[in-house]
């Protein structure tokens, strides 16, 4: 379900039409003495269409039983490989959002195999499925697997379309998001520049997908400490999304997270806390209290409380974040490692230096295995370790670690050319 990567009202309207049409088929022609093949196909189509409407609106809980029933029908009935692969891929995308990542990967690979058999290895449909597989790998912190998958997807699109085709936009954005996660900010910005040029021509300034990408760029700028530019973009993102979804919709959560970071950077702590609490409520109400996104929001809240010196509050939310992220994403995920680093800071405040250092080593090993030794998140853990050694009186080790932190951050936060022209 490639379209689920960028839901928008126009897409929902289209899928609603498909849903109604599917009901007509299910209630009319399939009851008219057609073959079992036709009945199964129409039934699976109708269920799949219903699931896609909910998925496009972010209603994954409502979509799940429909998508699962569609796949069960497709597997037990005599349907085409095309229909079966479509059901597999839709459910893979849904499971990815629900953090059932092992199941999502398995189903996506099965769907990809059927697609390649039906269409060949270089068909655009295969490219869209590779996008979904790449997003699953990123959620699993398998960034080194995601990169070649997305590169292959882009190569397929370039082989079938002109380089400036609007159909390549989503692939450029996905690669930019991956590069951002990997700390390759300069390359990420280059891909965003290309994508925004096409987005403005194809979608216009007020489209929901335009808002999503502007929010992605704002997140990148926030990581680069380019706060003024980030603020301008995130304000525009929020304006568009509130117009599309309403003021309190859970799909706005990534935008609120970036905006909260900007409030924190300006020491507007109360605004940041209010926004994070609002985000947490929206996500827990829609996706559940144990969803990884809830864990990430709690991590951001812990970081805010640590910055304010509210260590008791920070301990409570950090403990919840660690529990959620360990259970949903596993102990070797970069999001979990960041939560470990927060907990190490709190242990350090309590004078539990040994426990803190153990958590730092655990986080550091995870991050260096996932990324490399020069990733920005690695610098954050090294900074905590430097402070620990300083408190323990090991000043030489503390200074050595501090130098590494300075080198990493200097290499990542160099001067960048703004892309304002690309997004005007």
Q: Are 222 and 240 a contacting pair, CB within 8 Å?
A: no
Cα(177)–Cα(189) distance, integer angstroms = 10
Question: 138, 93, 94: which is closest to 112 by C-alpha?
Answer: 93
Where the chain has pLDDT below 50, the residues are: 1-35, 37-38, 415-424
Q: Are 339 and 367 a contacting pair, CB within 8 Å?
A: no
Calculate the CA 242 to chain-centre distance.
20
Phi then psi dihedrals of residue 141, to 5 deg:
65, 25
Cα(190)–Cα(192) distance, integer angstroms = 5
Tokens for 271, please give them: 């605004």
pLDDT in tens, 68-93: 999 999 998 777 889 899 999 999 99
According to CATH, the superfamily of the domain at 120-204 is: Tetratricopeptide repeat domain (1.25.40.10)
Q: Which helix (H) or strand (E) holds 292?
A: helix 292-308
Q: What is the pLDDT of residue 41?
A: 56
Question: 297, 376, 394, 385: which is closest to 339 by C-alpha?
Answer: 297
Q: What is the pLDDT of residue 42?
A: 61
Q: What is the pLDDT of residue 411?
A: 82
Q: Where in the chain is the domain with CATH 1.25.40.10?
A: 1-114, 120-204
Q: Are 314 and 305 a contacting pair, CB within 8 Å?
A: yes
CATH of domain 1-114: 1.25.40.10
Cα(326)–Cα(176) distance, integer angstroms = 27
- Output the CA angle 105-53-207, nearest 5 degrees: 95
Cα(385)–Cα(365) distance, integer angstroms = 13
pTM of the model: 0.87
Q: What is the pLDDT of residue 19?
A: 40
Which residues touch 351 (CB under 8 Å, ≥6 apart)? none
């Amino acid at each position: 379900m490639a379209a689920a990567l960028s839901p928008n009202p126009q897409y929902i309207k289209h899928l609603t039409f498909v849903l109604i049409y599917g009901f007509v088929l299910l209630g009319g022609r399939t009851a008219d003495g057609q073959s079992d093949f036709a009945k199964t196909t129409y039934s699976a189509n109708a269920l799949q269409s219903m699931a896609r409407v909910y998925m496009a609106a972010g209603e994954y809980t409502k979509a799940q039983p429909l998508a699962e029933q569609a796949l069960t029908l497709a597997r037990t009935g005599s349907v085409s490989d095309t229909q079966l692969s479509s059901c597999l891929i839709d459910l893979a995308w849904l499971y990815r959002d629900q953090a059932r990542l092992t199941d999502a990967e398995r189903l996506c690979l099965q769907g990809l195999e059927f697609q390649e058999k039906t269409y060949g290895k270089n068909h655009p449909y295969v490219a869209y499925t590779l996008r979904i597989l790449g997003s699953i790998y990123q959620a699993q912190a398998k960034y080194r697997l995601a990169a070649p998958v997305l590169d292959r997807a882009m190569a397929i699109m370039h082989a079938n379309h002109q380089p400036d085709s609007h159909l390549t936009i989503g692939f450029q954005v996905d690669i930019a998001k991956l590069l951002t996660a990997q700390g390759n900010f300069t390359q990420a910005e280059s891909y965003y520049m290309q994508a925004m040029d096409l987005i403005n021509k194809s979608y216009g300034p007020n489209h929901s997908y335009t808002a999503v990408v502007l929010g992605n760029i704002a997140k990148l700028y926030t990581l680069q400490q380019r706060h003024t530019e980030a603020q301008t973009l995130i304000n525009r993102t929020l304006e568009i999304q509130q117009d599309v979804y309403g003021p309190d919709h859970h799909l706005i959560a990534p935008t609120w997270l970036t905006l909260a970071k900007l409030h924190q950077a300006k020491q507007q702590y109360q605004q940041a806390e209010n926004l994070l609490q609002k985000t947490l409520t929206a996500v827990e109400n829609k996706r559940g209290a144990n969803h990884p996104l809830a864990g990430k929001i709690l991590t951001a809240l812990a970081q805010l409380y640590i910055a304010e010196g509210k260590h008791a509050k920070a301990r409570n939310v950090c403990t919840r974040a660690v529990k959620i992220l360990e259970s949903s994403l596993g102990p070797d995920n970069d999001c979990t490692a960041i939560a470990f680093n927060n907990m190490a800071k709190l242990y350090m405040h309590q004078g539990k230096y040994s426990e803190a250092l153990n958590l730092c080593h655990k986080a550091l090993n995870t991050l260096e295995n996932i990324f490399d030794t020069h990733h920005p998140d690695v610098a954050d853990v090294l900074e905590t370790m430097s402070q620990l050694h300083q408190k323990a009186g090991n000043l030489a080790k503390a200074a050595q670690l501090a130098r590494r932190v300075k080198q990493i951050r200097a290499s990542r936060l160099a001067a960048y050319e703004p892309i304002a022209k690309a997004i005007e």
